[in-house]
Amino acid sequence: MTTMADDMLNLEPASLEALSRQLGEPGWALEARRAAQEAFAALPFPERTEEAWRRTPPELFNPQGRGIVRLTPAFDLLGEGEPEEPVGLPFEKGLARLGQVPESLGPSGSRLQEKFSALNAAFRSGGAWVGLPRGRSLDRPLQITHQVPTIQAPAAFFPHSRIVGERHSKATVVESFASQGGDLLAAPVVEIQLEEGACLQYVLVSRWGEGTRALTHLDVRLARNSQLRVLFLGVGGATTKAFLTGNLDGEGAKSEFLGLVFASGQQHFDVDTLQNHHVPAGNSDVLFNCALNESSRSIFTGNIFVAPGAQKTDAYQKNRNLLLSGKAHADSIPKLEILANDVRCTHGATFTTYDQDQQFYLQSRGLPDADARRLIITGFFQEVIERLEGPVLVEWLAGLMQEKMETSLGV
Amino acid sequence: MSDPLLKIENLHVAVEGKQILRGLNLTVRPGEIHAIMGPNGSGKSTLSNALMGHPSYLVTSGTVTYKGQQIQELPADERARQGIFLAFQYPTAIPGVSLGNFLLAAVRNVRGAANVKPLEFRKELMACMKDLGIRQDFAGRYVNEGFSGGEKKRVEILQMAMLRPSLAILDETDSGLDIDALRIVAEGVNRQVTPEMGVLVITHYQRLLDYIKPDFVHVLVSGRIVQSGGPELALELEARGYDELLRTHGADAAPVVAGA
Amino acid sequence: MADASTEAAIVQQIRSDYKYGFSDAEDYVFKSGKGLTRELIMQISRLKQEPEWMLDIRLKAFEVFKSKPMPTWGADLSGIDFDDIHYYVRPSEKAETNWDDVPEYIKNTFDKLGIPEAERKFLAGVSAQYESEVVYHSIREDLEKLGVIFLDMDGALRQFPEIVRQYFGTVIPMSDNKFAALNTAVWSGGSFIYVPEGVKVDIPLQAYFRINAQSMGQFERTLIITAPGSFVHYIEGCTAPVYSKDSLHAAVVELIALEGSKIRYTTIQNWSNNVYNLVTKRAKAFRNAAVEWIDGNLGSKITMKYPAIFLMEEGARGEVLSIAFAGKGQHQDAGAKMVHLAPHTSSTVLSKSISKDGGRASYRGLVKVLPKAENIRSNVRCDALILDPESRSDTYPTMDIGNQNVHIGHEATVSKVGDEQVFYLMSRGLSEDDAITMIVNGFFEPFTKELPLEYAVELNRLIKLEMEGSVG
């Protein structure tokens, strides 16, 4: 793993060339960065009055005056087994191998339509490139880790990861974003593309350090009969804004978006999910559980959009909020926009504190108050974690949540 | 012998592209009670839904002749008006629609609005409910919403009593009933059976046939009737189970043509 | 149930488009030109012989109205031209208390709408507003003797200026939104109700609102105050003629339920499809008080209306029960807001909508719990049926929860009419049309059953009309 927090690199156009050179990119890649930089400059900065930014001030993510952190991700495999070479490259290596920019980063690509994605495309300073070959099944979860070390001056980190599941491939990918101390702005972009019949479990672990503001974009495209299960796991960072979007482009696609947020202290998580049903017979299922301790805050906005003609859509969305402290604050905005009639679309949201009946039951079996609470919280997370496949992964995730619980609850 | 009430010839029915009935033949004459027995997945419910005209059950070939007319193209409401009644295995809830209002609308459609006077209707409904041990307040409850399994089945038989069909199809009417409820329901059916009426009792178990005595028993396996006989056949099946029949007549076995 | 043949005859009689689409020739005492000016507001106030403070409020509100931009969220309001509206039309000199004194043509209109007939049959009091003014109001004598006040708002301002001054605009400040500001500037008509302590008005009071002129703006202002331990049920209905040009209805309704009292406010909104219906309705419920908005939206071109309840003190309860039917060219953007400001308060919302023939029904709602409001229960349920592929349904709820000790649930479902339900009803002899109509009526039943019988029957008939020819 190599890291550079280069004072010489900033958000000036001149840095594009330096970044591109340092990463050994071909000329066309630099051209793409320049186009993205122009798009970034032309796009207006988001305003608080916009629906998506009403509860998290966009100024928090102003990148000006920051150096750029360049970082190469680490690849390994979760769990025991034969040592084998993980399928994964640093983004720029994958890009060079592809020989051209992917469509989404091209002149009219989707990434250049949004301010922070364009910023990422211009000043990309890390990220992973994973191609899952046709028909191939990975036995063990692939783990990608972006670990930003302690930084001294205000810095920004722009990783871009791209995962392509070719036809009928099957894999689990866990991507962790983490940082140590220092004032960091992290704006990762993750793009996942599943071809026909591909099947992917993808876990995004957001374990940023205390001084990090994270603005995450996850964008998924699902071809016919492909299946995706995403877990967004938010435990770290000072302020997190995330946009998680599933595009059901092919009939029979299945998109499952899971979320676990465990916020403590002054942490602020604001997550938008969107399921775009463009074609008939798609299935989407969102389950987002947020537990809030101390003075933390979470906002969940979920939308199910069913385009005209997308008949036989089956969509479900659930957001649960567990308020563990009198000072915690949770918002939920579960939306439906349905423009077809032969559909079944449902959403639900709940807000509760510790269930007193559960707590009493556990205490009546001899558990101290703190243990009872801990069990109840574990159960609250378990509902989401058990949706994932693979004992190694499930155990790993349960351990991660346990760790967070220990540091934030002191139990 | 009288003209057949129902004549099913070489009936093939597919559901969601899957062929379930594969050449079923059956004749029911007025006054006859026929039992159709068979293991799970043999096509029993497909037969009842197809006879009632469920749009998802596609007749791919064959004919269903009722009172001398082919009916396989008719929508369900037309069949109901001509005197066919299906007691559903899983009656659907209709939230917000009271049983009383629903039955009044149904009876008006089936008997003709001019023949139904609200006061007489109400009297008749209350009497039928009493016979079937259904509390009067059920008339104000929403159709099948929050009903127990047994209540649903009784209310199905109540509807049969009010609609006075010529052909009644009872689809697994015994399922979900305890022994007392079973007796009440069966007695309700027996009271309604007239010499002009035909009854098709579709059931997995022999139990119901202790109360509603069939004249004929047919065994349905893999979408065809593979064996027919008198009431004794039901007892035989109860003792033997379906395994042997499944071995000889399963989906891949050669067809055995049997008729009543 | 009526005999089928007569029912068919009734349906035939009223089916020619919109039952209330007829209009009268205009014979008015005063009709303002189009557009809104400071001078017009002063003129309205002068004609009404209002106290100075009310004119001040109006003029201040006019400035607020001008300063606020059009809302860009919700329904599309770009079709509203504020310069193409008559803001004040006075059809007669005063609100009559004797039906015989009401001008003949207005009497005929209300006769056609069944108003005096309803009063005789099942109402405790009636108010009838035609254009900008209430032309008739009455209240049962025994209620008047108990001290119940039921007046048109202008009459209340003349007779009880102190009470009006004490409460006017305290629930909905003029700055709340552009249309509330507009209403405050040009309000005219509406109802004023005061129910004294302990008095329970056991049968409903009704107001009926009628727009007659083309490009008309109706801005009634309603204020209801229930003193401790009292109860009132208020019903409003509204219709307008069908014109090619749009009219605007921007009412403000303020309810104040004092300790232990209860207000039920029922609306059957059946404006013609050329009316923008942009109404601000809000209630404050104090200790152990209850407020219920029973809100039916059938008509209008666009409706934006989110009845709100501020639960001010412990034990307050709020309920919104609403239905929306969005047919061709209609956008019903309706919902509910529940704001829990005090501990031990509870709220429920049940919203049911149907969209059909390209119509759009949206639920927009808010449940807000302030940090000091402990032990809150709130339950929201939205069900939507979409009857054809051209129509649209949206759900936009917001839950903003600042306290831990809460029990809050929200559920929403969008689907089509169930195939199994249709088949079940058809297997009992009902035609497909009748089966779907029956399912739709059942779908609205939780709302319908809360209405007085006469309204429930009328609503079912309207739904039947809307549903005709929905199959094939």
pLDDT at residue A154 is higher than 80: yes
Q: Who wins on pLDDT, C291 or C122?
A: C291
Tally Cβ neighbours within 10 Å of residue C393: 31
Of C236 and B252, the one with more pLDDT? C236
Measured distance CA(C386)–CA(C210) in Å, rounded: 30
Please state which of the ranges A294-303, B179-188, C51-60, C325-334 shows the lowest mean pLDDT. B179-188
Q: What does the pLDDT read at residue C8? A: 47
Residue keyed to tokens 């169930």 = C418
Cβ <8 Å between C430 and B113: no
Does residue A84 carry a pLDDT above 90? Answer: no
Going by pLDDT thresholds of 50, 70 and 90, the confidence category of residue C4 is: very low
Q: Which residues of A touch C395 (CB under 8 A)?
A: 334-336, 347
Asked whether the predicted pLDDT for residue C268 surpasses 50, the reply is yes
Quote the number of domains for chain C: 2
* Chains A, C: CB pairs < 8 Å: 112
| Residue of B76, B140, B48 whose CA lies nearest to C421 | B76
Q: Classify residue C395: in a domain, yes or no.
A: no
Nearest CA-CA partner of B13 in B228, B219, B199, B222: B222
In this predicted structure, the answer to whether residue C472 has a pLDDT above a threshold of 60 is: no
- Whether C307 has a pLDDT exceeding 50, the answer reads yes
Instruction: Answer whether C434's CB lies under 8 Å from C403's CB.
Output: no
Please indicate if any CB of chain A lies within 8 Å of the CB of C197.
no
Q: What pLDDT is stored for residue C9 in this prediction?
A: 46
Average pLDDT for residues C70-93, to the nearest whole number?
A: 92
Q: Are B4 and B28 in contact (CB under 8 A)?
A: yes
Integer Cα distance of C449 and B98 in angstroms = 12
Among the listed residues C183, C171, C191, the one whose alpha carbon sits nearest the alpha carbon of residue C232: C191
Q: Which of C52, C19, C11 is nearest to C240 (CA)?
A: C19
Please give the pLDDT value at position C470. Answer: 55
Kindly state whether residue C392 falls inside one of the protein's structural domains: no
C391 in contact with chain A, both atoms CB, cutoff 8 A: yes
pLDDT of the residue at B240: 84
For position C31, what pLDDT does the model report? 87
pLDDT tens figures, C140-194: 888 999 999 999 999 999 999 999 999 999 999 999 999 999 999 999 999 999 9
pLDDT band at C469 (very low <50, low <70, confident <90, very high): low
Note every long-range contact of C46-54, with CB atoms under 8 Å and residues 24 or more positions apart, other chains counting: C47/C90, C48/C154, C48/C157, C48/C188, C49/C158, C50/C157, C51/C157, C51/C161, C53/C165, C54/C157
* C427 has a chain B CB within 8 A of its CB: yes
SS (H, E, C) A296-322: CEEEEEEEEEECCCCCCCEEEEEEEEE
Cross-chain Cβ contact C442/B53 below 8 Å: no
- C101 against B48, higher pLDDT: B48
Q: Is residue C326 part of a domain?
A: no
pLDDT at C314 over 80: yes
Mean residue pLDDT across chain A: 92
Q: Which of A331, A352, A353 sits opposite C399 (nearest CB)?
A: A331
Q: Is A386 exposed, middle or buried (CB count within 10 Å of its CB: 0-12, 13-18, 19+)?
A: exposed
* Residue A147: exposure state from Cβ atoms within 10 A (0-12, 13-18, ≥19): middle
Q: How far apart are CA A316 and CA A231, in angstroms?
A: 16
Instruction: For C9-44, write each residue's pLDDT tens digit.
Output: 444 444 345 777 788 888 888 888 899 999 999 999
The answer to whether the CB of A289 falls within 8 A of the CB of A259 is yes
- Output the six-digit token pair for C431: 């035609």
Q: List the single residue in C4, C427, C434 with the smallest CB-CB distance to B86.
A: C427
The residue type found at A313 is: T
Q: What is the pLDDT of residue C1?
A: 39
Of C394, C406, C409, the CB nearest to A338: C394
Domain shared by C86 and C232, yes or no: yes
User: What angle do the packed helices C453-467 and C115-122 form, to 10 degrees?
Assistant: 140
- Pick the closest to residue A246 from A176, A191, A291, A183 (CA basis): A191
Query: Is the Cβ of C347 closer than 8 Å to some Cβ of chain A?
Result: no
Contact between chains at C402 and A335 (C-beta distance less than 8 A): no
ipTM of this complex prediction, to 2 decimal places: 0.88
Inter-chain touch C420–B113, beta carbons under 8 Å: no
Structural domain containing residue C429: 423-472
Which residue of C410, C417, C440 to mutate against A (max A Cβ within 10 Å)? C410
Q: Which residues contact C267 (CB under 8 A, 6 or more apart)?
A: C235, C236, C237, C238, C293, C294, C295, C296, C297
How is A279-291 classified by DSSP, letter by letter? STT-EEEEEEEEE
pLDDT number for residue C280: 98
Left (φ > 0), alpha (ψ -120 to 50) or beta: where does C412 sit? beta
The contacts of residue C257 (CB under 8 Å, 6+ apart) are C226, C263, C283, C284, C285, C286, C289, C290, C291, C316
pLDDT at C5 over 90: no
Cβ pair C328, C301 in contact under 8 A: no
All domains of chain B, ordered by start, with CATH?
6-89+166-249 (3.40.50.300)
CA–CA separation, C396 and C412 (whole Å): 10
pLDDT number for residue A243: 98
User: What residues does C364 pair with on adjacent strands?
Assistant: C335, C396
**pLDDT (tens digit per residue) in A50-66:** 999 999 999 999 999 89
Query: Is A touching B (3+ C-beta pairs, cut-off 8 A)?
Result: no
pLDDT for res C217: 93
The confidence score (pLDDT) of residue C238 equals: 84
CA C196, C200, C203, C207: dihedral to nearest 10 degrees?
30
Question: What integer is the mean pLDDT of C365-382?
Answer: 96
- Residues of B in Cβ contact (< 8 Å) with C5: 113
Please give the Cα distance from A345 to A337 (Å, whole number): 10
* pLDDT for A2 beyond 80: no
- Rounded Cα distance between C189 and C181, Å, is 16
User: A356 vs chain C: nearest CA distance in angstroms?
Assistant: 11
Is C345 within a domain? no
Inter-chain residue contact A341 with C413, CB threshold 8 Å: no
Q: How confident is the model at residue C78 (pLDDT cuts 50, 70, 90)?
A: very high
Judging contacts by C-beta atoms under 8 Å, the chain C residues touching residue A274 are: none
Subunits next to C (3 or more Cβ pairs <8 Å) are: A, B
Which residues of chain C neighbour A311 with C-beta distances below 8 Å?
A: 389
Which pLDDT does position C23 carry in this prediction?
A: 83
Q: Which residue of A has its CA nearest to C369?
A: A329
Flag if A338 and C389 touch (Cβ within 8 Å): no
* SS3 at position A349: strand
pLDDT value, residue B155: 94
> Which residues in chain C have Cβ-Cβ distances shorter than 8 Å to B142?
442, 445
Nearest to C189 by CA among C304, C91, C302, C64: C91
Strands A329-338 and A297-306 come out as: parallel
Residue type (1 letter), C16: S
CB C263 within 8 A of CB C419: no
pLDDT-derived band at A1, boundaries 50, 70, 90: very low
pTM for the whole thing?
A: 0.88
- Cβ-in-10-Å burial (0-12, 13-18, 19+) of A244 comes to buried
Whether there are 3 or more C-beta pairs closer than 8 Å between C and B is yes
The per-residue pLDDT for C156 is: 96
DSSP track, A176-243: EEEE-SS-EEE--EEEEEE-TT-EEEEEEEEE--TTEEEEEEEEEEE-TT-EEEEEEEE---SEEEEE
Residues of chain B where predicted confidence (pLDDT) is lower than 50: 254-260
Instruction: Answer whether residue C440 is part of any domain.
Output: yes
Q: How far is CA C81 from CA A135, C70, C74, C75, C84, in A?
A: 61, 11, 18, 15, 5
pLDDT digit string, tens, across residues A228-266: 999 999 999 999 999 999 999 999 999 999 999 999 999
* Cβ neighbours of C431 in B, within 8 Å: 77, 109
Residues of B in contact with C421 (CB under 8 A): 92-94
> Distance (Å) from the C-alpha of residue C289 to the closest C-alpha of chain B?
29
Rounded Cα distance between B189 and B174, Å, is: 12
